[in-house]
Every structure is written in C-alpha cells, then in structure tokens.
Structure 1
C-alpha cells in the first residue's frame, strides 16, 4: 500500500497543472454524485475539505458538498482502481445535472505497479473462461455421506494458481454450505506430535453460492504457494447443520506442479 500511495503522489503531481483539461463533473447543492468504477476503488483524494465522500460499495465513490455552493469554487478528485488512475474537475452545479458518472477508460491512465498482480476483473474474466470449459480431468477425488468432491483441473498464470473444484450430491437432502476452507496440513499425524495446520485464504472466488441440491462447481484463485512433501493441501467443505456433513479433498504439491499454464 505504501508503494501504491507513493506512486500515486508521483503521478498526480505533474497532472495538477492541467486541471482545465480534466473531465468536468458538476456537483449540485444538496445532491449526491456517484462515481461508478470498473474496478474496486483503492484510493481517493479530494483537493478540498468542502467536498465530503465515502465508498459505500467497493466500486462506487459517493461525493457531496459539505455546505453551500457559495463556499465551493471548485476542486479536483483523484480516483485510483487496481490498474488505473483518473482525475476529474468538480465545479458548482445545479439540479438537473447527471448524478451518476461512469469512469470511462478514455478518462483513465494505466497504473503499472510491479507486484500488484491481476485485478479482480481480470481474475473474474479468467475464471469465467475456465468454468465454461467442460471438466476434462479428475486429478483428485474424495467421497463421504454420498457427497463426492473432485479437483477437475489446476491452472497457473504468473503468481496465481486456479483450482477448478466441483461437488456432487447424490442424496435428496440439499447441502447448505457453511464454509469451504483451504489448509496446509501434515500428511501424517501421530499422537506424539502436534498437527500443524495453516489456513490459506483464496485471493478470489468466482461464485458466492450458499447451497446446492445436486451439483456445485467453482474456481478458487490463490497466490503461488510452496510447501514441503510431508504436507498436503486440503479443501474442506462443511455444512451448516449441527450434524453437518464434512468432506475433505486432498491436493498434493505435485498436483500444483503439474498445473497447466494459462495465457492472459
């Protein structure tokens, strides 16, 4: 984040002299303007205290005047997403002006920050392409309580790992998902040793699905990881009910090493 803020300050400085060339957005008294971003908003700067704002949704910036138009000569708002930066000149406006502003690509400049990785939109597009493919492999499987889990495919792109995982419910009882957790555990656990378990959170999950009757399929995206041969990567599906059915799918390090490469 420090790297991002530093780079933003470098990019913003030379742009301020050309405020008259910035896209103009009119800010009416007693009305709210919403900027709609194509990416989650990471950073906002407003050049005056006469304008207040917040981010009610990850890709929406909400702005309004603090007081009367008489005290507002104009301002500049800077908005940065994961891969872009945009600036707008705010001027006093009156009722009737548009209250929604879509941030267009032609109004933005790309942010090339080494190490920031893929944006959420890019991960979503890649994952949608993967889930549209017919599962052609069954790398790992697990079964319990007539629930079958399957690792269909493993892909890699740069520092990312994409896991295509599906479940089939052969019972007539709907499965309400409590959680799908991913952990790196010891392969063998003895009574004399403490089991070392490390939870790993996905960077991105394609679908937010809370239940399934017969089938479930999703793409889980992780940052590149390594673990020794005496460890195993587990995907644990758990049910909400007190007598919840739990299914653990084991994924070996070799499965990750054998991943197919994606092209962005």
Structure 2
C-alpha cells in the first residue's frame, strides 16, 4: 500500500498548494504559443476541460474531445480589410490574444504569438505541463479524473490474491468483487471478470443498480440505475480475464435492497451474469 500512501500525500500537497497559490498572473510572465492561419493548435489537457476563454475575436476554437481544446486564427482575420480595424497587425512575433484553459483542478494561460505561414516550426499541438498550471481551490471531497485515475492505478497494481468479497459463476463466466475501497466521498469497486470458454467475450454493458432484495408478486420492483463517475479501463472485449476499477460517489441503501451488477454480452443470445452486493459489503470497505 506504499503507492496508495504516496498518492494521498501527493493529493494533500496539491490541496495545500491550491489554497496558497499566487492569485495574480502577469501577461508578461505567460508562456508563449505560436499560432498561424490555416493551422489548428491542439491543446491536450491531463484532465477533462471545463472551460476555455479566448481573449480576442482573432481566435476561435472548440472542444473536439473532453480533454482537447482546438484553437485557430479566425478565418479571414488576416485580410487587409480586417487589419485596418485592428490595433495590432498580424506580423510575425506579435501577440494575437490570451488563451485560458480551465480543468477540474487547474487554470492554465498562454500568450498566443502570430507566426508567418512560412515558418515551418509552428507548433501544432501541446500537452499542458504542470509548470503552466495554477491550482484552483476546490472542495476537499472532490477529486479530479486525473486523481481518481491515479488512485485506481494504485489499487490495480496490487495483486487481487486475497479472497474476493463476492463471486458469481454462470455459463463459463466468473464475476468477482475483489475488494471495496473508500476514499473521502468516493467508493472504489475492484472487479475481475473471467471467461473460461473458448469464445471471447464482447461486453455490451456493465450495469449497476439498487434493487429490492425480495420481489413480491403484488408489487413492482423498484430499480435505481447507478453510473460510475469514473472507470479505469474502457475495454469492451476480453478473451480470458478483465480487471477494472469502478468509482462511485458515496451512496447508501437499506438492508431491504441490494446493489445489482449485470454483465451483458453484445450478441442477441449473449451470456449474462449477475451479482448482488449487500450493503454490509460496502460498510466493510478498506480505506487507503
């Protein structure tokens, strides 16, 4: 568990930094990014982007993916007509505007500098580096996707060699809940799926829900679907084994209900396996 302890210390240090970060950012100190017309600049964030601000109408952009901002010079922004309306002409080395990217736990700002199309060294994509990030103060009980991923990686690096909390077997499939972990307001389910048949398994869905433990004929079953806020591995196909970590915000349910997990195969005659988890299993969760 040394790696888990290291992650906690790292998160604590990050939180402390977030609360004591320098509140000012001076334009002259901002890192510079080269940009030119006809070439998109892709800014890759280590966590989902929440917000992007472009300080002038000389720049435009969008979010083609949750962690990628695509920025470019506005079409026709460098025409002679437009240049007459602008206080700063588009000459190589001149600033075009300020690009601000806000993630789940940081804000990063860059000064966009115009480069002539003849410059073959113009940057086309960058990864936002830690030195460009200013931490944002956030709720102590809220983790970014990057932090959840690190916690999940720390869990999966430990071999699932202890007795599983729960196991289910059906149609040459085995579903097991290796362990349950709790970190602040988050619950981590460490799960393994095993296929002992010669047919590989194409996963259509893994569904989580809270359902009545006993279903009476005269009543309808009340089912509440639950969606993980994060999962480590998006893999949909496995031949023998698949181990994954599913993360939920803290939840509770009475003893009259169970958490139901259903593994469903893609094909019409697909193999399905179900597992019921009692609330007592959640209450016995390990802490980091």
CA distance in 2 between partners of 1:241 and 1:49 (Å):
50
1:5 maps to none
CA distance in 1, matches of 2:64, 2:137: 26
Name the structure 2 match of 1:64: 72
TM-score scaled to structure 2, two decimals? 0.81
Q: Determine if contact 1:50/1:72 at 8 Å carries over to the other structure.
A: no
Q: What CA distance in whole angstroms lies between the structure 2 residues aligned with 1:75 and 1:222?
A: 40
Aligned to 2:28: 20
C-alpha contact (below 8 Å) 1:72/1:92 kept by paired residues: no
TM-score, structure 1 normalization: 0.88
Deviations 1:173-209 (A, max 9, x none): 2221111000100000011011000000001111112
2:165 is the counterpart of 1:152: no
Matched, 1:76 2:108: no
For 1:23 and 1:75, the matched residues in 2 are separated by: 12
Cα gap change, 1:211 to 1:99, in 2 (>3 Å)? closer
Which residue of structure 1 lines up, in the alignment, with residue 210 of structure 2?
A: 184
Give the conservation status (yes or no) of the 8 Å contact 2:36–2:115: yes
Paired position in structure 2 for 1:8: none
Partner of 2:139: 114
- Equivalent residues of 2:207, 2:263 under 8 A apart: yes
How many residues align? The count is 250
Aligned positions of 1:1-264 closer than 5 A: 15=25, 18-66=26-74, 67-69=76-78, 70=83, 71=86, 73=88, 74-94=96-116, 95=119, 96-114=121-139, 117-135=142-160, 136-262=162-288
The unaligned stretches of length 5 or more in structure 1 are: 1-10
> Runs ≥4 in structure 1, deviation > 4 angstroms?
none
What do the CA deviations read for 1:40-85 (whole angstroms, capped 9, x no partner)?
2111011112211011222221111113343483211111111100
Closer, same or farther: CA 194–171 of 1 in aligned 2, 3 Å: same
Q: Quote the Cα distance in structure 2 between the aligned partners of 1:115 and 1:43.
A: 21
Of residues 98-107 and 197-206 in structure 1, the stretch that sits farther from structure 2 once superposed is 98-107
Deviations, residues 11-68 of structure 1 (Å, cap 9, x unaligned): 9x954xx322222222212222222222221110111122110112222211111133
CA RMSD, aligned part only?
A: 2.0
Instruction: Give SS of 1:162's match.
Output: strand
